[in-house]
Amino acid sequence: MMRLNKYVAHSGICSRRKAADLVKAGEVSVNGEVEINPAYEVQDEDVISYQGKVIEIEKNKVYLLLNKPKNYVTTLSDERDRKTVMDLVKNKVKERIYPVGRLDRMTTGLLLLTNDGDLAKKLTHPSHGVKKIYQVILDKELDQIDLEKIREGFDLEDGAVQVDAVDYVKGEPRNTIGIEIHMGKNRIVRRIFDHFDYRVIKLDRMYFGGLTKKDLPRGFSRPLTEKELIMLRHFT
């Protein structure tokens, strides 16, 4: 037996955390009846449907690393008919996969797509503190005083902000900044610099939970290596 939210996540639709929200919203049915309890124990004979379509657990786990270009939204589909990251990988695998976490439309860089709900939960839940490194280009040079304030930590309207590291990128103009964080607040990097009256011109995720985009051109994807999978499962 398996909890309903875990079953939905393992069908390749979304992460387990998101699956619980889908169940509570009445998007999932068991044997033709809406079931809003994520903890419902799925029986072997149960038929599970999402938005009217029968779903089954994906037995083949897929892990794709994508170097996301700008102007793509990080969703499975978009009501405004904008390009999504799924358009970049739709011919890569036959299994249903979904992006782990989000990068906003204009942010580029590393994005993992998978149908492994357990790993997705591990990589996105704040308690695991998964490290992310971004390179930021600002509309003007970052003042040393503001750099120190970001290092020390400060408050936004939704709580305290504490970065793990931040500095000028060596050999680049002083509007090019490297920042390491593990917190997962929405659009947090852009909001950090906006708080100090800087506008982010470019934002690129260089590192995510031990993964890098070395030798992966923008807009391209590749399967994770066995070594990368072991690292994510056991050491991240």
Catalytic residues: 104
71 Cα distance to chain centroid: 16
Distance CA 69, CA 52 (A): 33
Which of helix, strand or coil describes residue 91?
A: coil
Helix extents (H) in 97-199: 117-124, 144-152, 188-195
- 3-state helix, strand, coil split of the chain in percent (to 5) is 25, 30, 45
Sequence-ordered list of residues with C-beta below 8 angstroms from that of 135, at least 6 positions apart, any chain: 169, 176, 177, 178, 202, 203, 204, 206
> Are β-strands 108-114 and 200-208 bridged in parallel, bridged antiparallel, or unpaired?
parallel
Residues 99-114, buried b or exposed e (16+ Cβ, 10 A)? Answer: bbbbbebebbbbbbbb
